[in-house]
Amino acid sequence: MAKVAGPSAKGGKRGMAIASPTGARVGKILDLLAKTYPQARCELTFSTPLELLVATILSAQCTDARVNQVTPHLFTKYRSARAYAGADPETFEQEIRTTGFFRSKAKNILACCQTLARDFGGQVPRTMEELVTLPGVGRKTANILLYNAYGLPGFAVDTHVTRVTGRLGLVDTEDPDKIEEAICRVLPREMWGQATHLFIFHGRRTCHARQPRCAECTLQSLCPWPGKR
């Protein structure tokens, strides 16, 4: 088994060399998480790729529960990329205000949908290369869309994934691209999407940032984190 560097209490430091997790270790962790969280899934409510795109942009620095309170109105009022593209910016800002950072989110969503309407026939593209050309869409959002909207391989790295993989010693960096590369290197492509959900569920329900529930953690015996309680 490859040697895995121990993470810092915050889950690693940006810019450090990447750890080398083994497929067997990551697989064992995911098996335990799958038994603990059999319901693990995307918790944003959506029915189309466009709805998921909008909801994911809104979810930055905001809970999925809060986003799910805002989106029913949006999804009823704006039923296409062209509808968003033609929205009044000030009105739209107020409609999403409670999700936080509403001005930048409104700017990104409206610009994104203008690009969809102009360059993609109003359809959300199905490739990483095309998705990341959209305003407000990085690799995390693109991977969420690939897996949850289209059933394609995609491993999304958010703050929960960063924290959990760091504390478990699977990576020793907080760079999302390096974390994605390290985990995807040792997992079959068909496992990437569900691995994201399992790490996120564990981060939200057990491995909290400030008060992790280590005594109840199904991974306690596998966790090398020095801050473990």
Residue among 105, 140, 172, 175 flagged as catalytic: 140
Active site residue 158: yes
Q: Are 26 and 189 in contact (CB under 8 A)?
A: no
User: Taking the CB of residue 87, how many other CB atoms lie within 10 A of it?
Assistant: 20
45/36 Cα distance (integer angstroms)? 22
Helix residue ranges, H only, the chain: 23-36, 49-58, 64-77, 81-85, 89-95, 102-119, 128-131, 139-150, 159-167, 176-186, 192-205
140 catalytically annotated = yes
Catalytic residue among 105, 158, 172, 178: 158
Closest C-alpha to 19, from 161, 169, 155: 169
Catalytically annotated residues? 140, 158
